Amino acid sequence: MKSRLLIILTATMAILALGACSTTKRLGPDDILYTGVKKVDYVTPKGTELPESVTDAVSTTVNVAPNNVFYSPYVRWPFPLGLWVYNNWPNPPSGFKHWIYEKLVSEPVLISDVRPEVRVQMIESNLRDNGFFRGRASYSLVQGKNKKKARITYTINPGPEYPIDSLELLPDTTRLCHLIDSLALREHNLAKGTRYCIDSLAQVRVNIANKLRNRGYYFFRPEYIEYLADSIITPGSIALRLHLASNIPAFASKSYRTGTITTIVHRNEGGGVADTMYTSRGRIIKMMPVRLRDSLLTECITFRSGKTLTVRDMNRTQTYLSRLGIFNGIDISAMPDSANHDRLNVLIECTVDKPMEASIEVNVTSKSNSYLGPGVDLKLTNKNIFGGGEQFSIDLFGSYEWQTGHGRSSVFNSYEVGLNAGLSFPRLLAPRFIPRSRRQLNWTRITLGADLLNRPHYFSMAQLNAGFTYDWRVSRHVNTSLTLFKLTYVKLMRTTAEFDSIMDANPAIAQSFRSQFIPQMGYNYVYDRAFDSNNSLNWQFSVTEAGNIFWAIYRACGKKGEKELFHTPFSQFVKGTAQLVYNRRIGRGDNWLVSRVAVGAAHAYANATEVPYSEQFYCGGANSVRAFTVRSIGPGSYRVPKEQINGYFDQTGTFKFEFNVEYRFPIFGPFHGAVFFDSGNVWLLKEDPARPGGKLRGSTFLKDLATGTGAGLRLDIGMLVVRGDLGIGIHAPYDTGKRGYYNMTKFKNSLAFHLAIGYPF
């Protein structure tokens, strides 16, 4: 205890001594240490704000880091170690002290280094570029007792904004001028009353040039369009005139059509013998031997000889070829035709990639039922097995786990091994009447899989599955998936006495675990759209049916009673889910309010009394109601008896509702924060005497909703988001012994921490 107290006192004294040492000792007589920006003061009429683009530019201009910057020029670390070393640490020419000095020292940032007078000029220039021609800026030093230190306050008076009052177009003497005039009239940034802004005008030039290049003017560039601005004709506003640059070359003023089209396919190893074929999409030269279906390239080439040459066709051809995943290099160029000066010949060169790809993934999983352990996943893929971009993959995975907790430790008490094989075609092997978009790749997928799960304390289960699925995009914002057929066979191979006792106490759960076939069809629809930079919406729903076709065939054949497939009963149910996620930017910056509503229902009938366990819903966890762990609430107000330590088998239902609201905000750098409110539960659509209070009832629906709040921290590095959420329970749907809506027994018992990858929704 004494040694710990001595360490604390020593550290405190060291900090005080460091703070007491001068950080301006070596400064010259006229030097002033820069300690950051105190504030940026905008002098604007009440109720008005500068555009965000202007304030962002000002922030960038004044954003000079002081010595001990923490997050921005406004926030600094309290102990400037590097600056202290510069002023107080001896610096011999060599030796250990010199090495320490070089590692820790930080040269002082002076007011003269920041040059605030120059930054004021830059701010005024930026104001003029954004239409504030009368804008003025100034700065002042804010000093305390130590006159060798100062912060800077910038004062900005933007003055009135100058709108565009009139637009004078090009003389309508050529087709090019006529096109530019018509395109300019469609640009809202050139409309009368719009604030004059150089960046906006530059974007207009880019937009016009891009549209001209899609009308055959392949060599036209944005810099060929110039503006003349006059603020004298109408005081307080801008008269704008368009004209073409004097140095615009003659070839950039011409519209071109597509001449010859030549596609060359190179081998990955180089060399080869040229094999030439002529198609409706031009000449194709393949350097043999190469595995490539003849019609594959013609399906991707959008150029047509004699058609107007457009950049759009060039981009689409590039996209269609690259999304096949079989080329490691694609180059498209256009060259003048020597025989016809109004045409450009197109050359497409592709290099075939190596077809085989192998990957290995090692991971550690921690599950809600206390199982923990490592796993490995080996995957081998042939990306062009038949020469048409078809992908054949084999995936072998395995893991072993042990159950943590009192009395559950074992060296090797659980394992899972599996093998999946898939064959994917980069097109729909389906009738043409199914709507689809060529903007994205459409897939036909055939899958086969086998899995063996061993839980020595409970059961051993084998599962076989086969499926046939279409994935296609209907439009820019709509993705769809149709599982035409999926057959799953579940075999409960071995059970323990402990597991049998749990099933005996829960007949409904026992029915969902039985050996059975699950023949399914399903459809999934996803609408994902960003309306603008401040609003986005994701809506998805899915519907799945199982066993109905088999049941209808048996009934048509006169079969009554329980129907079997290969002497094993098959499940029969219908299931539907829907989810709506809305994102709304709050204010400026990266602040978002995200709302989510999710609902699902499943119903077993006819040939089955219960929905298979794997198809039932559960609640709680990192992506649900975060104040509760996975399968710790529901169904309804049912609560697992305390003596039943494996009660999570019971915590499922056939109806689910969840509602979440989350406010996300930046903290500093890649760190983001969140506060959230979650609510939800699962219920039963059928009465189960073994789980009283579990059935869905309108009179108790609100009371049965588990609710919680909390806060989270995210590390967002772009490709990966690591998330930690601390949930705080507000209301448990079951009887806790406490009265009132807030019925948590103890605050510490109402906490749940979740560590996860990715955002919750």
What is the model's pLDDT at position 404? 46
Average pLDDT of span 53-67: 88
Average pLDDT of span 745-759: 87
Q: Which two tokens stand for residue 18?
A: 């460091």
752, 729 in Cβ contact below 8 A?
Answer: yes
Lowest-confidence region among 63-72, 422-431, 490-499:
63-72
369 — pLDDT class (breaks 50, 70, 90): very low
116 — pLDDT class (breaks 50, 70, 90): very high
Chain centroid to Cα 708, Å, comes to 26
What is the model's pLDDT at position 375? 79
What is the model's pLDDT at position 433? 64
Res. 349: pLDDT tops 50: yes
| Digit-coded pLDDT (tens) for 155-194 | 999 999 999 999 999 999 999 999 999 999 999 999 999 9
| Digit-coded pLDDT (tens) for 235-245 | 999 999 999 99
Share of the chain above pLDDT 90, in %: 54
| Digit-coded pLDDT (tens) for 552-573 | 888 888 777 788 888 888 999 9
Lowest-confidence region among 16-20, 236-240, 678-682:
16-20
Report the 10 Å Cβ neighbour count for 67.
Answer: 21
What is the model's pLDDT at position 579? 97
Res. 1: pLDDT tops 60: no
Res. 653: pLDDT tops 50: yes
What is the model's pLDDT at position 533? 83
More confident residue, 286 or 457: 286
Query: CA 747, CA 727: separation in Å to the nearest integer?
Result: 11
Res. 99: pLDDT tops 90: no
Query: CA 399, CA 359: separation in Å to the nearest integer?
Result: 17
What is the model's pLDDT at position 405? 42
Q: Which two tokens stand for residue 733?
A: 């749907």
Chain centroid to Cα 222, Å, comes to 33
| Digit-coded pLDDT (tens) for 691-711 | 899 999 999 999 999 999 999
728, 625 in Cβ contact below 8 A?
Answer: no
Q: Which two tokens stand for residue 130?
A: 């954004």
338 — pLDDT class (breaks 50, 70, 90): confident
Res. 606: pLDDT tops 50: yes
Lowest-confidence region among 47-51, 70-74, 283-287, 377-381:
70-74
What is the model's pLDDT at position 77? 63
What is the model's pLDDT at position 647? 54
Res. 233: pLDDT tops 50: yes
Average pLDDT of span 442-469: 91
Query: CA 516, CA 463: separation in Å to the nearest integer?
Result: 10
Q: Which two tokens stand for residue 56?
A: 């962002």
Please calculate the CA angle 249-253-259 and round it to the nearest 5 degrees.
105
What is the model's pLDDT at position 482? 94
CA-CA-CA-CA torsion sign (431, 433, 439, 443): negative
How is 375-443 classified by DSSP, letter by letter?
EEEEEEEETTTTSSS-EEEEEEEEEEEEE-STT---SS-EEEEEEEEEEEESS--S-TTS---TTS--E
Please calculate the CA angle 279-281-287 and round it to the nearest 5 degrees.
65
Contacts for 175 with CB less than 8 Å, ≥ 6 apart:
255
Res. 407: pLDDT tops 50: no
Q: Which two tokens stand for residue 372?
A: 């923990």
194, 167 in Cβ contact below 8 A?
Answer: no
Averaged pLDDT of the chain:
87
Average pLDDT of span 83-110: 78
Query: CA 57, CA 279: separation in Å to the nearest integer?
Result: 54
661 — pLDDT class (breaks 50, 70, 90): very high
Q: Which two tokens stand for residue 55?
A: 């304030």
Of 580, 594, 749, 582, the C-alpha closest to 675 is 594
What is the model's pLDDT at position 648? 58
What is the model's pLDDT at position 402? 64
pTM for the structure as a whole: 0.74
Average pLDDT of span 423-430: 88
Average pLDDT of span 461-480: 92
75 — pLDDT class (breaks 50, 70, 90): low
Side chain identity at residue 361, one-letter code: E
Average pLDDT of span 11-19: 43
363 — pLDDT class (breaks 50, 70, 90): low
330, 264 in Cβ contact below 8 A?
Answer: no
